[in-house]
Each structure stands twice: as structure tokens, then as C-alpha cells.
Amino acid sequence: MSENIIENQVELIHESPLYAEHLFNIGNFSVTNSLLSSFLALVLVVFFGLVLRRRIKEVPGKLQSAVEMLIEALLDLFDTVTHSRKKTLLFAPLIISFFVFILLNNWLGLLPGVGSVGKVIVEDGHHVFIPFLRGATADLNTTLSLAIIGVFISHILGVVFVGWWHHFNKFINLKALMEIPKKIWRDPAIVLINPIKLFVGLIEIIGELAKVASLSFRLFGNIFAGEVLLVAMSAIMAFAVPIPFMFLELMVGAIQAFIFSILILTYLSINTTLENH
């Protein structure tokens, strides 16, 4: 046969876009690769939780004592934020759950196979590579929902701890308005000061939205940028060069999970304290 067969090289596009790639549909609900990864992390957490629960003994073995020491250290750290052991014990399960879930999701993005095993689809005439698994926190949806959950819980527990009226007055300070007629003949400047206090409270509402935005974008930006960095470094040279960047990503994953949890704890403890100016 003729040897002049021109091989048709198919050009494959490997890029990790800002949004997570759609894999398949369940009814009307689109399942993405980040969703699969976060379910995998969820299954891991639940599995280890249930399995290790049965192995807790009254006289601890080595692994159990190590974990107990770790939990003691964490509770002391939380005490420095809440200044109350009772509150720390109440909030610790929530905060440690955030920490473990986010840590697992951050580190799952580094495993071999995540981000590299996938399928090729044709989109707009280009062949695009879509991995089956991708780090869940590299998707803004995951981090945004975690941030919204955290801030909502801080408000709900704020109402539970200090009461609806006091919590409401932290934002729309009606108490200050109501005090004007009571104190006006003792301290006339209060006509000017208390309306200002009212508006300062209103600005706090915008502060709550800023909390959600900053929490979600901090985690998303760090993990997504880490992903892109690793891809870029591996493209330069796939063998020795990515090693220090993998260590960097391990550290960044742990630090960002820790910061997220400590910030949620801070917001919780601020909202659940009675403030007296």
C-alpha cells in the first residue's frame, strides 16, 4: 500500500476551567466531577467515623491516646478564641467537622488519578479532556456553600444564646433609638450619638455578606490556584520539579482548612456573647 498516509493528529485540550465540568445527569440535576469528589470525601469521613467509633476503649491504646492528645490541644486552642470551656465543648464538633471535611477535600485533589483519569468529549469541534474526579474545594460552589452554612449557623446560634432582641439590636440598633427620650434631659448629646449607633449597626449587615465572600474566595482561590500551579509545573518538567510544589500544596491545604474553621469559630463566639459597650 502507499506509505503516504498522513496521520490525523487529534489535538486534545487539557485545561482546568474555573467551573467544574459536567459528567452526567440524574434527572434534571447535573452531576459534576467536583460533586463526585466531595461525595467520596463524605463517604470516607462517615466510614472512618463509624468504624473507629467501635474501637474506642476505656483504657486507650497508642493510636487512641495520640488522637486524644491532639483533641486536647485543639480544645485548648479553641479556648483561646471562645474564653469559655463550656462553649468550646459545644462548638468543637461543628468546627472539627468543617476542618476534617475541608482538609480531606483539599488533599484529595493531590492524589494521583484525581484530575488525570477521565474521558474525552467533543465540544465546539475541539476535543476536550474531562477528568472524572477533581478537588471539590477547587469549585466555588463547594466553598460558597460551606461559607454560607458557617455564617448562617453563627447567626442561628447567636439568636439561641443571647435572644432575638439582643441579636437584632446588634444590626438595627432600635434600643439606642428608644433610649433617646429616656436620657435626653440628663445627657443632651445623645440625640446626635444614638442615630449614628443605629447606622453603624446597618453597615454590619454588609459586613456579614463580606464574611461569606471572603471565606469562600479565600479557600477557592488558594486551592484552585494550587491546582493550576501544579499543572503548570508538571508541564515544565514532569519529574523532579513538582515535588516542592506538592509539599507546598499539602501545607496550603492544611493551613486553609485550619483558617476556615478558626474563622467560623471566631464568628460563632462573637455572635454568642452579650456585648456591653
Partner 1 sequence: MLENVMLAKALAIGLGAIGAGFAIGLIGAKAMEAIGRNPESTGKILVPMLLVSAFAEAVAIYALVIAFSIK
Residue ranges binding partner 1 (CB under 8 A): 18, 214, 217-218, 220-222, 224-225, 228, 255-256, 259, 262
CA proximity to 155, closest of 115, 204, 122: 204
Residue whose CB is less far from partner 1, 56 or 225: 225
**Least spacing, CB of residue 222 vs partner 1, in Å:** 6
Closer CB to partner 1, 193 or 210, in the complex: 210
Shortest distance in whole angstroms from residue 227 CB to partner 1: 11
Closest CB 214 distance from partner 1, rounded Å: 7
What region, left, alpha or beta, does residue 247 occupy, with left being phi > 0 and alpha being psi -120 to 50 degrees?
A: alpha
SS3 126: strand
- Reading the block at residue 220, the C-alpha cell is 477557592
Closest CB 258 distance from partner 1, rounded Å? 8
CB nearer to partner 1: give 198 or 259: 259
CB of 255 to partner 1, least distance (A): 6
Q: Please identify, using beta-carbon distances, which residue of 36 and 219 lies nearer to partner 1.
A: 219
The neighbouring-strand residues paired with 126 are 123
Beta strands 12-13 and 126-131, pairing class: parallel
Question: How far is Cα of residue 73 from the mean position of the Cα atoms in its chain?
Answer: 22
In whole angstroms, what separates CA 195 from the centre of its chain? 37
Nearest-approach distance from CB 218 to partner 1, in angstroms: 4
- DSSP alpha helices (H): ranges in 2-139? 33-53, 62-82, 85-108
User: How many helices and strands in the chain, by DSSP H and E?
Assistant: 8, 5
Q: Which amino acid is at 107?
A: W
Our CA dihedral for 162, 167, 169, 170, rounded to 10 degrees, sits at 110
- Please count the other Cβ atoms lying within 10 Å of the Cβ belonging to residue 220: 22
The nearer residue to partner 1, 107 or 260, going by C-beta atoms, is 260
Give the residue with the Cβ less far from partner 1, 154 or 256.
256
